[in-house]
């Protein structure tokens, strides 16, 4: 399983970090700006994408989708592309794509827009991985993801408050990728989001092997070393705060 962090920032990007987006093997998770160019930069051919999954409809997770589809069309893609989006934002997404006539297969390739309910379910499966969705606690309906391969389990929360109901999904994961918009060291807690210290406590309770923090608020940017040192008192495993374009192989 290959995980590339195309972006690691929260809704407000910084000079070092763009909005959070993850390339998981051939599946793109969320689609802010210029993910096409970032995939090219890390040596991945965007035409190989098997699907795009939008966890929720907040602008920093979806605004680059029309641009990505147009770039794929201009680059010669002919194979259909499935776009998974939560049912709460399905019509908004459809409208956004229709504005630019991107749902017309005669313009390039077919976009199969699939509405997702907010419940535990299998979303995507190929010969290498299975991707399961589960509801999280955000300010709007949102989905977290549990990805399983033959060797390992990875959990990605997307945007969520810390919630004990999620512990069952975290349990014994090799890697927990958790949003950490806030930290008590630098800012107050925000509704619908998590402070890094609370995340570390949940990861320790869930017996997670490695904790990876993304969706970082601008107050945390450039203070990563101090934050990791702070979190070591709550979590005894490995702590990662990736930079944009970093990768993990599991």
Ordered alpha helix ranges (H), 42-102: 59-62, 65-74, 90-99
What pLDDT sits at residue 189?
86
Return the number of other C-beta atoms located less than 10 Å from residue 88's C-beta: 16
Q: Between helices 224-231 and 196-205, what is the axis angle to 10°?
A: 40
What pLDDT sits at residue 116?
94
In angstroms, rounded to a whole number, what is the distance separating the alpha carbons of residues 105 and 91? 19
What pLDDT sits at residue 149?
93
Global confidence as pTM: 0.96
Active-site residue flag, 244: no
- Report the candidate in 135, 204, 143 with the shortest Cα–Cα distance to residue 176: 204
Structure tokens at 56: 């929720």
Please state which CATH number belongs to domain 2-249.
3.60.15.10
CB distance 182 to 189 below 8 Å: yes
Q: Please check the confidence at residue 54 and state whether its pLDDT lies above 90.
A: yes
CB distance 103 to 113 below 8 Å: yes
Give the start-to-end residue ranges of the domains of the chain: 2-249
pLDDT tens digits, 82-118:
999 999 999 999 999 999 999 999 888 999 999 999 9
Return the number of other C-beta atoms located less than 10 Å from residue 89's C-beta: 22
What pLDDT sits at residue 38?
98
Residue in 60, 198, 221, 244 annotated catalytic: 60
In angstroms, rounded to a whole number, what is the distance separating the alpha carbons of residues 17 and 82? 27
Give the H or E element holding residue 202: helix 196-205
Helix (H, G, I), strand (E, B) or coil at 179: strand
């Amino acid at each position: 399983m290959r995980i590339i962090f195309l972006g690691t920032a929260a809704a407000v990007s910084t000079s070092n970090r763009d909005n959070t987006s993850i390339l998981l093997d051939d599946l793109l998770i969320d689609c802010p700006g210029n993910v096409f160019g970032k995939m090219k930069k890390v040596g991945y051919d965007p035409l190989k994408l098997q699907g795009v999954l939008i966890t929720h409809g907040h602008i920093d997770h979806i605004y680059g989708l029309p641009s990505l589809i147009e770039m794929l069309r201009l680059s010669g893609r002919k194979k259909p592309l499935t776009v998974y989006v939560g049912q709460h934002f399905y019509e908004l997404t459809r409208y956004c794509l229709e504005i630019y006539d991107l749902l017309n297969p005669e313009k390039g390739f077919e976009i199969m827009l699939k509405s997702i309910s907010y419940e535990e379910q299998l979303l995507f499966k190929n010969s290498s991985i299975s991707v399961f969705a589960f509801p999280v606690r955000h300010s709007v309906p949102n989905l977290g993801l549990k990805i399983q391969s033959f060797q390992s389990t990875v959990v990605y929360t997307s945007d969520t408050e810390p919630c004990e109901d999620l512990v069952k999904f975290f349990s014994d994961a090799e890697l927990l990728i958790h949003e950490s918009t806030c930290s008590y060291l630098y800012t107050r807690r925000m509704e619908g989001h998590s402070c890094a210290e609370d995340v570390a406590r949940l990861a320790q309770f869930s017996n997670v092997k490695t904790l990876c923090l993304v969706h970082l608020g601008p107050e945390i940017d450039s203070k990563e070393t101090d934050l990791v040192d702070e979190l070591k008192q709550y979590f005894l495993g490995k702590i990662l705060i990736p930079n944009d374009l970093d990768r993990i192989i599991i």
